[in-house]
Amino acid sequence: MIGLIKNEWLKLVKQWGTRVMIALLVLITCLFAGLMKYEESHQADSPTPGWQEKLQAENAAYKKELTEEQNLTEVRKDYLEGQININEYRLQHNLPVDTDMDMQSFVEGSSDLLSFAGLFVLIAAAGIVANEHTWGTIKLLLTRPVSRVKILFSKYATVILFGLFLLAVAFTLSSLLGLVLFGASGSSIHLAYENGQVVEQSMIFHLLKVYVFKFVDVLMFATLAFMVSAVFRSSSLAIGLSSFLLFIGPTVTMLLSMRYEWTKYLLFANTDLLQFEEGRTLVSGMTMEFSLVVLAVYYAVFQILAFIVFSKRDVAA
Amino acid sequence: MTALVELWNVSKVIKGRKIIDSLSFTVKQGEVFGFLGPNGAGKTTTIRMIVGLMKLSEGDILINGHPIRTGFEKAVSQVGAIVENPEMYKFLTGFENLQQYARMQSKITKEKIEEVIKLVGLEDRIHEKVKTYSLGMRQRLGIAQALLHDPKVLILDEPTNGLDPAGIKDIRRHIRDLAEKKGMAIIVSSHLLSEMEMMCDRIGILQKGRLTHIQAVHESSDRAVDRYAIEVNYPEAAVKKVISSFSYVQPKIAGSCLMVEAEKERLPEVISLLVSSHIKVYEVKKVTKSLEERFLEITERQEVMSG
């Protein structure tokens, strides 16, 4: 099995296209860092005077929304309460909001760049089965004394490894750039509201959580592309369909979700797990547990389809 | 000699159409079996079923006794194959390609890889990317990959397709060597009869998914009756003379020649008859029917029967 995964990994990274993708990710992260540095040099020094007044104003607005708004979702209500409590905690303990750019906030900001990593993993997943058919090498691959299930599994494992690799590259690179350009001076504490209490969390823990949640998003779309690749044997269809869904899906789902409640069963309503952290769920009544179950069902369907079709297929020219 | 490949009533149905219709044959150790038929007769489909790329609709295939349906991994581990063109990963070197296949099977050492590279004569270019290879070199790399795990059965689909005469000769030599020296059972498919005649021991003719004929390539030499072409100055007169005395030799005219079918011992009698009738005899030669003629005879007969 290790040998099979090694094979797939070598085939993936020895391709010119894969190296370009890795280089692009590095380049984009560097550009983003440069841009942030430029922005920072044009900003006023902080802590901003009067941050207490600002937080109090914020809380007043939150409280107003909490009491006057009729159709607040549970998640939104929790979120508002959390924010109010966190702000009060800040006021009590004299913890100003750190608006200064530092290593941690840079790493958090550059987590948005994971969309690129996601796109690259999607492209790799779309090609990993379909390319063997295009190249004709599938005939040599499947006439070995290795079951087709094992071969497909090694390919999927390689996609996941590639995803983790890009994630690690992005995380390490943005940490390094953040450290060099902005320093590690900022507060290393992240305030979270859990079970009616404000808790201090380590920043690293918070950042890892953000990256892991974003990785779930990447994983779902990569699995979708992998399934299309294995079922339809066409990498262009797999890339086209899944990136179309990646870009259009969330928007369409959001539009639909304003009128129909069933949209909460759509894949795109659930891929963004940060929506629960940030109190902006698409459809009321959705919870983290609900989303995880929906995602698991989609994931299982994708995998079952891919494995059944791949192992039963007659390989013709 | 043990049978290494056995097909038992193998059928393949695709979209309700029977592409392959109850095919049965065996290939023995050390034998080169040619699979001949026009395009679309089902050669490639049969080969794809033997190597496990396609599932069987009916029947079973045994490789060295292991059924492909229930013991795929055991059966296929005895088979090396090139199905159609030897497609390789072009962005990898020849060596890296072979390493890929070596990792998919246990017990393939680096020495073994070096050995097959030497066998096909690719030592000089093996560390270059495959995209720089000529078709002949890719074909040789294809054979190297098929021999990597010391298979007992080798399957080559249209192995000489697109090769130049030197390349074809090269492949032919490899095939004969592997059968004779290593005792492998080899299945070769082609639509070129002349090609098959030069490398096969037996040829199976496939038409519309059915195996219509299996024929040994070299006719047995102790055959009683041979055909002879006798070049004479007056073929018409010669035919009349011979018919009157030896009608059973079935004399016919072919250009300036008189064609007869006779046992060797009868030939002097025919010649002395011609000489005594004042017909000049310039040349007498034995005619062996080429495989091509036999193939056409068989296929024509089939067409007459079906038409």
Interface with A, mutate which of B83, B98, B143 (most A CBs under 10 A): B83
* Within-domain flag for A92: no
* Within-domain flag for A190: yes
Q: Which residue of A has its CA nearest to B85?
A: A136
Nearest CA among B180, B193, B206, B186 for reference residue B19? B206
CA gyration radius for chain B?
25
* Within-domain flag for A257: yes
**A259 touches B: beta carbon within 8 Å:** no
Query: pLDDT higher for B264 or B45?
Result: B45
**A16 touches B: beta carbon within 8 Å:** yes
Confidence of residue B155 (pLDDT cuts 50, 70, 90): very high
- All residues of chain B having their beta carbon less than 8 Å from the beta carbon of residue A11 are 89, 92, 100
Q: How far is B172 from chain A (nearest CA, A)?
A: 22
Tokens of residue B285, six digits? 């030669």
Could you tell me the sign of the dihedral formed by the alpha carbons of B110, B116, B122, B128, in that order?
negative
Total residue count of chain B as it appears in this document? 307
Residue B63 phi/psi, 5° resolution?
-110, 115
d(CA B42, CA B23): 11
Q: Where are the alpha helices (DSSP H) in B61-119?
A: 72-76, 94-103, 110-119
Confidence of residue A7 (pLDDT cuts 50, 70, 90): very high
Coil vs helix vs strand at B260: strand
Q: Residue A115 is which amino acid?
A: S
Question: For chain A, how are helix, strand and coil distributed in percent, rounded to 5?
Answer: 75, 5, 20
Q: For chain B, which domains are there?
A: 3-216 (3.40.50.300), 225-287 (3.30.70.100)
* Within-domain flag for A85: no
**A135 touches B: beta carbon within 8 Å:** yes
- All residues of chain A having their beta carbon less than 8 Å from the beta carbon of residue B145 are 140
What's the rounded mean pLDDT across residues A12-39?
90
Looking at residue B221, its pLDDT comes to 45
B23: CB partners within 8 A, 6+ apart: B7, B9, B10, B11, B46, B59, B206, B209, B210, B211
Assess contact for B76 and A145: CB atoms under 8 A. yes
Could you tell me the sign of the dihedral formed by the alpha carbons of A258, A262, A264, A265, in that order?
negative
Overall number of domains in chain A: 1
Assess contact for A189 and A201: CB atoms under 8 A. yes
* Within-domain flag for A82: no
Q: How do residues A175-205 score in pLDDT, each as one tens digit?
A: 888 888 877 666 667 777 766 677 777 777 8
CB pair distance less than 8 Å for A142 and B74: no
Looking at residue A223, its pLDDT comes to 93
Confidence of residue B83 (pLDDT cuts 50, 70, 90): confident
Tell me the pLDDT of chain B averaged across its residues: 85
**B55 touches A: beta carbon within 8 Å:** yes
Q: Residue A238 is which amino acid?
A: A
Q: Where are the alpha helices (DSSP H) in A258-287?
A: 274-277
Assess contact for A228 and A237: CB atoms under 8 A. yes
Residue B51 clears pLDDT 70, i.e. is over it? yes
CB pair distance less than 8 Å for A139 and B55: no
Nearest CA among A189, A207, A213, A186 for reference residue A199? A189
**A196 touches B: beta carbon within 8 Å:** no
Q: How do residues B217-251 score in pLDDT, each as one tens digit?
A: 775 444 567 788 889 888 888 888 888 888 777 88
Looking at residue B28, its pLDDT comes to 92
Own/partner long-range contacts of B251-260 (Cβ < 8 Å, ≥24 apart):
B254/B229, B256/B231, B256/B232, B257/B229, B257/B230, B257/B231, B257/B232, B258/B229, B258/B230, B258/B231, B258/B232, B259/B227, B259/B228, B259/B229, B259/B230, B259/B287, B260/B227, B260/B228, B260/B230
Looking at residue B291, its pLDDT comes to 62
**A7 touches B: beta carbon within 8 Å:** yes
**B44 touches A: beta carbon within 8 Å:** yes
Confidence of residue B42 (pLDDT cuts 50, 70, 90): confident
What's the rounded mean pLDDT across residues B268-278?
88
Confidence of residue B295 (pLDDT cuts 50, 70, 90): low
- All residues of chain B having their beta carbon less than 8 Å from the beta carbon of residue A7 are 100, 103-104
Nearest CA among A278, A296, A149 for reference residue A219? A296
CA gyration radius for chain A?
23
Looking at residue A163, its pLDDT comes to 92
Interface with A, mutate which of B20, B53, B147, B187 (most A CBs under 10 A): B53
Determine which helix (DSSP H) or strand (DSSP E) holds B54, and give its type and residue range: none
Looking at residue B305, its pLDDT comes to 47
Residue A275 clears pLDDT 90, i.e. is over it? no
d(CA B148, CA B80): 8
Looking at residue A250, its pLDDT comes to 82
Interface with B, mutate which of A1, A128, A140 (most B CBs under 10 A): A140
* Within-domain flag for A91: no
Domain span holding position A238: 2-46+98-312
Looking at residue A80, its pLDDT comes to 80
Looking at residue B299, its pLDDT comes to 63
Residue for token pair 């017909």: B279
* Angle in degrees, CA B189, B192, B196, rounded to 5: 60
CA-to-CA dists, residue B6 to B17, B78, B201, B267, angstroms = 24, 13, 17, 44
Coil vs helix vs strand at B149: coil
Q: How far is A134 from chain B (nearest CA, A)?
A: 10
Q: Which residues pair with B189 in a beta bridge?
A: B35, B157
ipTM: 0.79
User: What percentage of chain A reaches a pLDDT higher than 70?
Assistant: 92
* Within-domain flag for A144: yes
Assess contact for A209 and A289: CB atoms under 8 A. no
**A6 touches B: beta carbon within 8 Å:** yes
Q: How do residues B174-211 score in pLDDT, each as one tens digit?
A: 889 889 998 999 999 887 777 788 889 998 988 888 88
* Within-domain flag for A93: no
Of the listed ranges A82-86, A223-227, B30-34, the one predicted with least confidence: A82-86
Across the A/B interface, how many CB contacts are shorter than 8 Å? Answer: 76
Confidence of residue B63 (pLDDT cuts 50, 70, 90): very high
